[in-house]
Structure 1
């Protein structure tokens, strides 16, 4: 009898534990959450992607109809007849200001021609503004479709100014510039910004270094290291150059190769602790007093996402460091793609048009916003011809029976081919299309707190308000294999939704930002999906 009693207690305990883990399925009321639009957190500056490197060929050579179709997917804010978005409405576009490896060809030592870039500066010191024509086409297409901000970024100084005459470093930790060339480099960047401003395509932001922690001493692509001292010296030359030319671009730094370099020392002496180096007035490399330096620290989320504990801890630490620095600088996550080997999606090799990578990246976006308080978030490259998880739209000459691209390095692909949407494109759109510049993240969470590691394999959500239109935007990421019901307990207390109904936009294996409607009192988030809810507050 005692055995039966103990067995029944054990089974009851197991059932209760199962209830805790699957409370949405067991509780008909769903998971209780709260949103408080009266508590504002970080402002949102935008969501973006870059034009490196494939846009140079697609924008210059591909049929116009296909170029416009891809531009619509990336930039359009229009709606289809059924109310679903035509594109993901990026609000930030990163333009790669090239170093001139393309003109060098094989002499650049960069074997992959898709990774070379042209340079506006000629060897004789004159400028050729017809260069980078494909990128300029997409820049114009972005402007025509209402993209709010443009950012010019540099991987390497121009080959005419580097120590080795190449767009990669000869070695060491300092920037690859000949001695005394920093003023010339600053003049080049200011001139490029001046030109595009005169063309009506102004770079709102200018980033003069990229991932300065890496030595970039092999010719895989354009790149250069830089110490904190190098960066400060460049900014002190560049800032007055921009002012002299009456250019409105704001300078942004440092595009750290990993987020930890923003707040700590990780074996890169002189290239670490960059949040404090550039934005703490006691630092010898302080640049926060320069009028055209935007007070945000840019970093890349690479190599911090495969392990969920690292994903959470790094972003919590960064968020705390931003707060402890007295709010003198914000944070932009300015570049990310899949470089690690993650248990749920594998490594970067093998492009993925489906929901696996889309959900993984949506999870990263969520924690970058919710824990690190990112004010802006950008994917690495908009277009990719490689068999790699680095694109939003993929290019190929056809696919084999396994869905793999045929001959991704083919020269013919520089002129035409197939383009394919990824679910990652649309999952990014769950954020970029609806969370617009000027909006603010607001306080939200689970009424019964859930650990971040638990959320990472179940449901994550964040909330944003448009203070002008008085709209509320909620973004849910359901990583689990079951539908989840959510109940907003704070409706009627801290806010109401007009008509008691949200417009919903779902990205899943079957849907791509598909428009629907969702009762405010009964929210269902489909399994393995990203769902955005938009409602008018009253």
Structure 2
């Protein structure tokens, strides 16, 4: 070392000690090394898919100019890439179609204050049918089909107002609003709706969900909704099943869209709780498992169960254990957006990584602790100043700007790359602090999704992949990156701070 370099080194060290210069070693201190080991002997659920709902915005978004509405559809459904190999969309394979209760035709008389939350129906108040009544929603259904979506579900917030006790699409007293003397007519209307949609789009709904969050009172006029006890729900499903049996439709009835996950297991409201046992235990008086057109799945929503951490995990483990008691029964997490808890509030639109990381972690928990075979977001498109959308648009019926979000792209780290039929494989981690990893196997490909919620860059050692392969594909969502594609050699996995990363590699031979 010459005197100049020696003097420079001493000067550098002096300023480091004073804290004026940040040495390169400080970056190394912000790196962690984590080993993730795949245990192929322990397989879990088979993944069915990832989706979102067209409520309520698509009724207007589908009427926007072609360029804007096609941009929204591409963001949600496209499996194409740009010239750099980066995805143009998140490739949802599940689309939830909202079957309205006719409040839109009632207008202000519906009692639902926000017209964007009033829902259309093919059935008129006059009891005739208008097959052109839902052009916006039908456009998005066709757009989803064109872009390769395979699974379509029709869901109902409220029976049509023609079949409710108060002629409204929400309850007046917090009790069920369905006039059960008209339950058969309600069931027939759902069958007619399925047939009209098939005529308009060529799609026969694979699933029909006739109730939504039956535990809530739905008496405030904020949106369409209808409460049910378990007993009332069982009566309705049996009537709907009998009506479907008279048709050639292959549509399966999907239940029960529980408002919270613990309503599936042991919530104190006994008339609306323990739904897994009530509907799928042969010893239960509400047993529906012997109906040939009832799907062997039960659904719940992850609202209000995301914190504290240990409670969140325990609730999901309880769902997994309860569902596992019944042969071939699957669990779907069928609706979520950020309504708010102690960790994150729903108010305030967030197009950045804060909400994206929160959701990526929640998806991980629902898939790994609750064994969800399908995970479905609430509003595919939102207009609000709220954390409820994947894509956002100006609140206009005629056109405007379209905004993507990091939540969309983080969701895409799962939806775009975990194909239907993938089997989740258990993993072991050497360090789980603010770091969540899950792995899925399909056709000898191992798809690993890593959520780095820490402030550190993580060097990931992934055991279980073929270490001799030269090209491993990585897709990263982070600040400045939307499923950005890169290629590396096996083992060279550096995961940025505050990121969601999908690694696609060959299984270890």
TM-score, normalised to structure 2, is 0.91
Alpha-carbon offset, residue 500 of structure 1: 4.4
What is the aligned partner in structure 2 of residue 134 from structure 1? 136
What is the aligned partner in structure 2 of residue 463 from structure 1? 439
What is the aligned partner in structure 1 of residue 462 from structure 2? 488
Alpha-carbon offset, residue 438 of structure 1: 1.4
Alpha-carbon offset, residue 38 of structure 1: 4.8
**1:96-115 counterparts in 2 under 5 A?**
96-115=98-117
Alpha-carbon spacing, 1:458–1:31, altered in 2? closer, same or farther (3 Å)? same
1: CA distance, partners of 2:262 / 2:470: 43
Residues 30 and 455, structure 2, Cα contact 8 Å, conserved in 1: no
Matched, 1:303 2:304: yes
Alpha-carbon offset, residue 27 of structure 1: 11
Alpha-carbon spacing, 1:205–1:226, altered in 2? closer, same or farther (3 Å)? same
Alpha-carbon offset, residue 460 of structure 1: 0.3
Matched, 1:431 2:414: yes
1: CA distance, partners of 2:470 / 2:337: 38
Matched, 1:376 2:408: no
SS, match of residue 389 in structure 1:
coil
1: CA distance, partners of 2:254 / 2:328: 14
1: CA distance, partners of 2:32 / 2:102: 61
1: CA distance, partners of 2:387 / 2:32: 38
Correspondent of 1:365 among 363, 366, 378 = 363
1: CA distance, partners of 2:487 / 2:286: 52
**1:113-152 counterparts in 2 under 5 A?**
113-152=115-154
What is the aligned partner in structure 2 of residue 92 from structure 1? 94
1: CA distance, partners of 2:102 / 2:455: 48
What is the aligned partner in structure 1 of residue 167 from structure 2? 165
Alpha-carbon spacing, 1:349–1:172, altered in 2? closer, same or farther (3 Å)? closer
Correspondent of 2:237 among 224, 232, 235 = 235
Matched, 1:293 2:294: yes
2: CA distance, partners of 1:25 / 1:99: 59
What is the aligned partner in structure 2 of residue 17 from structure 1? none
Matched, 1:225 2:208: no
Correspondent of 1:31 among 16, 31, 34 = 34
Correspondent of 2:352 among 345, 354, 359 = 354
* Root-mean-square deviation over aligned CA pairs: 1.8
What is the aligned partner in structure 1 of residue 216 from structure 2? 214
Offset from partner CA, 1:269-317 (integer Å, 9 cap, x none) = 3111001111111111110111111111100000011422222121122
What is the aligned partner in structure 2 of residue 196 from structure 1? 197
2: CA distance, partners of 1:197 / 1:29: 53
Alpha-carbon spacing, 1:191–1:484, altered in 2? closer, same or farther (3 Å)? same
Matched, 1:475 2:449: yes
Alpha-carbon offset, residue 327 of structure 1: 3.9
Offset from partner CA, 1:406-452 (integer Å, 9 cap, x none) = xx5xxxx1111111110000000000001121111112221x4x5xx
Alpha-carbon offset, residue 341 of structure 1: 3.4
SS, match of residue 210 in structure 1:
coil
SS, match of residue 181 in structure 1:
helix
Residues 197 and 247, structure 1, Cα contact 8 Å, conserved in 2: no
Residues 467 and 491, structure 2, Cα contact 8 Å, conserved in 1: no
What is the aligned partner in structure 2 of residue 504 from structure 1? 474
What is the aligned partner in structure 1 of residue 181 from structure 2? 180
Residues 332 and 372, structure 2, Cα contact 8 Å, conserved in 1: yes
2: CA distance, partners of 1:209 / 1:261: 14
**1:518-537 counterparts in 2 under 5 A?**
518-537=488-507
Residues 71 and 141, structure 1, Cα contact 8 Å, conserved in 2: yes
SS, match of residue 198 in structure 2:
helix
**1:306-317 counterparts in 2 under 5 A?**
306-317=307-318
SS, match of residue 30 in structure 1:
strand
Q: Which runs of 5+ in 1 are unaligned?
A: 1-23, 397-407
Alpha-carbon offset, residue 63 of structure 1: 0.8
Offset from partner CA, 1:190-231 (integer Å, 9 cap, x none) = 221233234412211110000000010110000000111121
